[in-house]
Structure formats: C-alpha cells, structure tokens
Structure 1
Amino acid sequence: MFQNLSFWLPIVIIAIFILSSAIKILQEYERGVVFRLGRLVGVKGPGLVFIIPIIDRLVKVSLRIITMDIPAQDVITKDNVSVKINAVVYFRVVDPAKAIVSIENYIYATSQLAQTTLRSVCGEAELDEILAHREKINMKVQSILDRMTEPWGIKISAVEVKHIDLPQEMQRAMARQAEAERERRAKITLAEAEFQAAQKLKEAADMLAQNPITVQLRFLQTVSELATEKTATLILPLPIELLRFLELPKKDTSSSTAQSSQSSKT
C-alpha cells in the first residue's frame, strides 16, 4: 500500500501543478497575450483561460488608465527664458498584442517620449503663451504623443501641465508688470469716471441756462433743506433790486432839504 502511495503521490502532485499552470483567471480589466513556442497565438480574457503548460506562455496586460508623472524638465522657451515644467500623462493600452510585441517596455517608452515631447513643444513657444494658453500646450503634446504611440497600441487620454517654475528675477519682473497693469487700469477707470461726471455737469449747466427759473427753484429748495437744521446759520444774498429801492428815499430827502434852504433864503 505504501509502495502504491509513493508511486501515485508524485504523479498527483505533478498533475496538480500542470493543471494549476494550465488554468489562468483574468480580471475584467485584464487581457492575456498568449505565445505558443514563441509565436503569438492571440489575446484571451477576461475570465477563465486555459493554456498548454510548458508550451504556452501568457503575459497579462492591464487595460486600465495609467497615470504617469513627467519629472520637471529644464526648458528654454522661444524668448530665451529658462523654466522648469512638469506634467502628468494619462494613457491606456488599447491593443495588448502590439503593446507586448511592438515594444519591450511600453510604460518606460511612453514616459521617455512624453519628456522629450514636452521639452520640444514648450521650447517652440514663448513664456507668455505657455502661461496664458496652457490648454493649447496640453493639446499639442497629447496630439504628438497619441500619434507616436499608436503603433505600440497605446492611447493617450490626456496631458496636463502641472507646474511651471520660473526664476526669481522673472517672478519679480512679472509682479512689477502686473502692478503696472493694475495701475494703468485704475487710472483709465478714474479718467472715464471724471469724463462722465464732466459730461453730466455740462448737461446740467446747459439745462439751467435754458431755464433760468430752475436756478431759483433749486436755490429755494436748498434754503428749505438747510432751514430744517437747527444749528444751521443762513446768510442769504440781498437782491440788487432791493438796494435800488432803498436808495429812492435818500434822493427825496436831499431834494426836500434843498427846497427848504432856498425858501429860507427868500
């Protein structure tokens, strides 16, 4: 009995090993590229996959989007400004067979290509364009990467510039420029306000000149408003007509005095 057990036990162990190596389970986001004696057989999965042990080899490939950081790149822009730019790339495998057969390490290759493309695109643009039109830079880098990685079975989903590191002197110069721009806008706004106020005053003066009675009505309204304040002291101008009226009695008095002196002489 023990002899039979010692005979069958190795066979059972070998059978279990062969069976376990022949059965593969692939997740929904995975695919298996199968090679048989070194030749590409095809892509299998997801689910339960059977292969021939020793003869077949299965390479798993994930179809999920991969997030890859691009290290900070030293870039000299078109206007000769030295900056450091880093970004992030989102890509995924759309053809597992090409990703395994066409290139040795598609993740490393995509990373290197993204770095060189980022330096090239940013080097062709001026600093103001990079800062103001970052989305344009993203789209251009994505388009180039997508075209160059297509033979590898890679699809570039998005490229985003994360940070642009400027030299200290450039940051100070941009701060001074921004301050000057704010002062210019403030002066323009003040000048426009003064111009509008002058226009309103001119319109009011023209209206008052056409209707003199309006000046008197406005004067009376102001007097009535000031009269409501108990602490207010009003000093009103005396009309010139009243002064002329007061001069008349003086003339009559002088004439009567002259007549009386003449009568006394007689």
Structure 2
Amino acid sequence: MMIHYYIMLASIVLVILLIVSIFRILREYERGVIFMLGRFYRVKGPGLIIVIPLIQQMVRVDIRTVVMDVPTQDVISRDNVSVMVNAVVYYRVIDSQKAIINVENFHDATSQLAQTTLRSVLGQYELDDMLSSRDTLNQAIQAILDQQTDIWGIKVSNVEIKHVDLNESMIRAIAKQAESERERRAKVIHALGEQEAAEKLSEAAKILSSQPQALQLRYLQTLTEIAGEHSNTIVFPLPVDLMKTFGNS
C-alpha cells in the first residue's frame, strides 16, 4: 500500500515539474530560438512562452548592444612602423535565427573577425594617418565588419580605436622629426623675411637714385639722428652728389 502511495506521489511531482518546465519567461531584451526535433521551428519572446519538453528545445539570445573590447594587436603600417593598437566594437543581434544557426558562437566569431579586420585595415595606412585620421579608420573598419557579420544576423553599429602605442625608439624618432620640421620652417620663414627686406631695400634704392633731392633729405635725416646721440665728435663723409648739388646751386 505504501509503495503505491509513493509511486502516486512521485507521479504527481513529475507531472507538476513537467508542467512547470513547459513555461518559460523571456525578458524584454531576450529572444528564444525554438527547435522542434532538431529542426528550426520559430523565434519566440519576450514574455511567457511554451516549450514542449523532449520535443522542443530553446536557445536564449540576448539582443542588447554588446560592448566588445578588441585585444591589443601588433600592426605594421604601410610605412613599415610597428604599433600596438586596440579598439572597442559595438554590435547587437538583429536576427536571432541567423545568430544561432549560421555560426557556432557569434560573440567569439565577431571578436576574431574584428581582430583580423583591425590589422588588415590599419596595415593599409601610414602612421600619420593612424594618428590623425581615426574617424576615417573607424568608419572603414565598421563598414567591413558590418558587411561580413550580416550573414550571422549581427549589426556592427560602431568601432572606436582607443590607443595607438609606439615603442620608445619610435617616439624619439618622431620627436626628432618634429623638431627638424620646426627648424626647417623657421629657416624658411627667416629666408622669406630676408628676401622681402632685400626687395624693399632694392625698391627704396631705386627711388632714391632716381630722385637726388630725396637722397639728400635722407642723408640729412641720418646726420640729425647721429647728432642726437651722446657724442662730441662726428666724422662723416660728404657725398660727391651732394657736393655737385651745392656747386650747381
């Protein structure tokens, strides 16, 4: 009698557990990919759904945006400079069926693809572009990732390069190059100034030579400036042209 009682009690508990296992609750950001006898059936959720035990199986998929940190990659730029680059990728699942069926692990697959794409794209640019044109690089990487992950039901919304690190020797070389560039620009500016001053002096000399009276006035002005200094004796040459002018007068 007791054996029948225990068997009945176990059957009731089993039925209750079976009924409870039928119902699943999916949050607003979750979807359930349902397989029936191994074949894809449909995508359910969010809310309360029914999954028939033994016949149907469910795989949960999180459809929120994932912030994935891409590990630091050793990249050789187009001008043969070795740099260490890391980035962050923002993506989310837009097709749960593809994300589960078309790829074994969509998170790992996206991470590996991001690493190889980062090295491939940055290797086509020179170091100066990596440092100054990050927006262009981000858009190029994002476009490639978004295109290749579309078959997995993944949408890559953004890619941001975080750091481009150089070794100490390269940093010193860049600093030396920048210093040389500053010196070159300073010399060019100085040379342009000298050239402009020479041109102005040449123009002034032509004007003075064409007008003797202006030359005389300039000469007298110079004498006035010298006389204003604290000096007891002033020795100055007398221009021949000035003497001719006085003689004619």
Contact 2:103–2:152 under 8 Å retained in 1: yes
Give CA-to-partner distance per residue, 1:15-70, whole Å, 9 cap, x none.
5983585152431x433323334332222334x33213424444332333221111
Contact 2:26–2:32 under 8 Å retained in 1: no
TM-score normalised by length of structure 2: 0.72
Indicate the residue corresponding to 1:18 in structure 2.
19
Give CA-to-partner distance per residue, 1:80-101, whole Å, 9 cap, x none.
4433221221222121111112
Give CA-to-partner distance per residue, 1:129-150, whole Å, 9 cap, x none.
5445444443333333223211
Indicate the residue corresponding to 1:61 in structure 2.
61
State the Cα distance separating 1:124 from its structure 2 match: 4.5
Moved more, 110-119 or 197-206: 197-206
* 1:111-190 equivalent positions in 2, closer than 5 A: 111-190=111-190
Contact 1:26–1:32 under 8 Å retained in 2: no
1:23–1:170 distance in 2 versus 1, CA, 3 Å: closer
- Percent of residue pairs bearing the same amino acid type: 51
State the Cα distance separating 1:171 from its structure 2 match: 2.0
Q: Who wins on radius of gyration, i.e. which is larger?
A: 1
1:39–1:208 distance in 2 versus 1, CA, 3 Å: same
Give CA-to-partner distance per residue, 1:177-207, whole Å, 9 cap, x none.
1111111111111111221222222233333
Alpha-carbon RMSD: 3.8
Give CA-to-partner distance per residue, 1:100-125, whole Å, 9 cap, x none.
12122111111112112222333454
How far apart, CA to CA, are the structure 1 residues paired with 2:31 and 2:49?
Answer: 13
State the Cα distance separating 1:176 from its structure 2 match: 1.4
State the Cα distance separating 1:236 from its structure 2 match: 10
How far apart, CA to CA, are the structure 1 residues paired with 2:13 and 2:25?
Answer: 20
* 1:60-79 equivalent positions in 2, closer than 5 A: 60-79=60-79
Residue identity matched to 1:18: I
3-state SS of 1:60 partner: strand
Indicate the residue corresponding to 2:5 in structure 1.
none
How far apart, CA to CA, are the structure 2 residues paired with 1:49 and 1:206?
Answer: 98
Indicate the residue corresponding to 2:3 in structure 1.
none
Q: Unaligned stretches of 5+ in structure 1?
A: 1-6, 245-266
1:52–1:71 distance in 2 versus 1, CA, 3 Å: closer
Contact 1:208–1:215 under 8 Å retained in 2: yes
How far apart, CA to CA, are the structure 2 residues paired with 1:178 and 1:97?
Answer: 54
1:200–1:79 distance in 2 versus 1, CA, 3 Å: closer
Indicate the residue corresponding to 1:202 in structure 2.
202
Moved more, 137-146 or 110-119: 137-146
Q: Unaligned stretches of 5+ in structure 2?
A: 1-7
How far apart, CA to CA, are the structure 1 residues paired with 2:60 and 2:214?
Answer: 93
Indicate the residue corresponding to 1:249 in structure 2.
none
1:226–1:125 distance in 2 versus 1, CA, 3 Å: closer
1:177–1:161 distance in 2 versus 1, CA, 3 Å: same
Contact 1:18–1:53 under 8 Å retained in 2: no
Contact 1:67–1:91 under 8 Å retained in 2: yes
3-state SS of 1:104 partner: coil
1:76–1:223 distance in 2 versus 1, CA, 3 Å: closer
Contact 2:31–2:43 under 8 Å retained in 1: yes
